[in-house]
Structure 1
């Protein structure tokens, strides 16, 4: 295994752990068995910093682990699928939109595009899951909470990304 693959594996495990921690540290319960947290910011950063595939696995595993450790095991499979898809999409979009440019620094428009798509996948994914498991009224009740959570996560990840991209080891991962 070469040095870059090893670094990516280690940073992937680190992002999964940070996603778990960010999800569990601030934990504000919502109406229908959900909770507001900052883990989605780490999911977004995982996709952007590690690339679509490694970032998707880190975001999905970290989020699912938080559900398992927090007593939300029922949500864990859906969380893994939703957050994996969100991180993959965010990473793919960010890298696709920044590929043609020579600078490797922070770019606001690709970040916002990736963040909004990531937020849409998370909010829509949980809406569909809760629509199937509960009912339409219950699913609709959680949409505003998910949007607030995603807004806070977008702000936090938007503040962290420019700082993290200044670190050569992190910048060279994707």
Structure 2
């Protein structure tokens, strides 16, 4: 039991670190804005499908919020922490480790809609409605990219981690 918990904590920390790296360093800057499109959300979806709920939420929220802090977007960190926690919870509840592509697409779609809506609300608080509206297309692109990464990679990652991850409860 103790070994399984330690293993799960280590895997959670690795997912958080991978989310951070894929958010900070595997990105495409959006011209004329401070925004960028990254693949961290795709990794967040993978963690959410593979880990038990509290671990999935921790990996997603901590990894993404730390990326904001370390990339000089600290003002976004509290918003990101909450938004990514909600996204991880949605994907976790809708998609088990062995869910099919249709269920993956549904989980990605709903989490993506929530992502766009909550970042719009957060941007409206920080920049007003016009500034928030300008970010919508880029958040849609990022959410779609995350869903594609999730659908393509979950079967591969699931197989690679099959003997390592404990059963999700």
TM-score over 0.5 (shorter chain) = yes
**Structure 1 segments of 4+ aligned residues over 4 angstroms from their partners:** none
CA distance in 2, matches of 1:71, 1:173: 37
The runs of 5 or more residues in structure 1 that have no matched partner are: 96-103
The alpha-carbon deviation at position 26 of structure 1 amounts to 2.1
Instruction: Kindly report which structure 2 residues correspond to 1:19-168, keeping only aligned pairs within 5 A, or say none.
Output: 19-30=19-30, 32-95=33-96, 105-166=98-159, 167-168=161-162
The answer to whether the aligner puts 1:16 opposite 2:16 as a matched pair is yes
Once residues 88 and 99 of structure 2 are traced to their aligned partners in structure 1, the CA distance between those partners, rounded to angstroms, is 18
Tell me if structure 2 keeps the 8 A contact 1:52–1:89. Answer: no
CA apart distance, 1:173:
4.2
Partners of 2:164 and 2:102 in 1: how far apart? Answer: 20
> What are structure 2's unaligned runs of at least 5 residues?
none
The residue that corresponds to 1:172 in the other structure is 166
Secondary structure of 1:28's partner?
A: strand
Q: Work out the CA distance in 2 between the residues paired with 1:48 and 1:16.
A: 14
SS in 2 for 1:36: strand
Contact 1:56 1:85 in 2 (8 A): yes
